[in-house]
């Protein structure tokens, strides 16, 4: 008896999951923009960190990655626009993760626990691209949903914990 190759079943996030990601992305992007605006307008005490190139690069890549990533995940898949915007999002994520390596102000020059997300981003992007190139679209989609939530939104929300830089910018 010949074995029939099984076709991957495309997964999709339930409507409630998409809604939760939309709310999380909106809250994160809004809080980040408010925190940055407070620094730029002088509403919060100026800090040395506000002038660090790594932090500026990190914020400049994370801020557009939040809505762009959500758009790519929710919009039509497989066409040229999806592929182009997905590539742009991947570059933004790689740049954000790389710049995060150089942000070490909270731990006296050492890495903090939030740096654990850096290899998560690198590994997940590698696996997602490999899955797409191999035609394993369901796997690619699963990795990208996970990367967006666990590699972008979650560390972004953690960046607002008390004592962290964005918390100071937002609350002081």
Which tens digit of pLDDT belongs to each residue from 119-139?
A: 999 999 999 999 999 999 999
**pLDDT above 50 (res 39):** yes
**Whole-model pTM?**
0.89
Q: What is the pLDDT of residue 2?
A: 52
Lowest mean pLDDT among 3-7, 25-29, 81-85: 3-7
Lowest mean pLDDT among 28-37, 43-52, 157-166: 43-52
Q: What gap in Å lies between CA 111 and CA 21, rounded to an integer?
A: 28
Contact criterion met (CB below 8 Å) for 164 and 47 = no
**pLDDT above 50 (res 147):** yes
For 97-133, letters b (16+ CB in 10 Å) and e give bbbbeebeeeeeeeeeebbebbebbeebbebbbebbe
**pLDDT above 60 (res 38):** yes
- The pLDDT-based confidence of 4 (bands split at 50, 70, 90) is very low
Q: What is the pLDDT of residue 9?
A: 56
């Amino acid at each position: 008896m010949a074995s029939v190759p099984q076709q991957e079943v495309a997964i999709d996030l339930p409507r409630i999951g998409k809604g939760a990601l939309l709310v999380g992305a909106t809250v994160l992007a809004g809080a980040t923009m408010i925190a940055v605006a407070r620094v730029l307008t002088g509403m919060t005490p100026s800090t040395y960190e506000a002038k660090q190139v790594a932090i500026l690069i990190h914020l400049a890549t994370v801020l557009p990655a939040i809505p762009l990533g959500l758009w790519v995940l929710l919009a039509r898949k497989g066409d040229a626009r999806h592929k182009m915007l997905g590539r742009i999002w991947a570059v933004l994520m790689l740049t954000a993760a790389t710049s995060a390596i150089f942000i070490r102000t909270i731990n006296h020059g050492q890495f903090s626990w939030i740096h654990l997300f850096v290899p998560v981003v690198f590994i997940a992007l590698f696996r997602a691209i490999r899955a797409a190139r191999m035609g394993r679209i369901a796997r690619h989609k699963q990795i990208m949903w996970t990367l967006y939530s666990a590699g972008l939104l979650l560390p972004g929300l953690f960046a607002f914990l008390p004592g962290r830089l964005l918390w100071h910018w937002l609350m002081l």
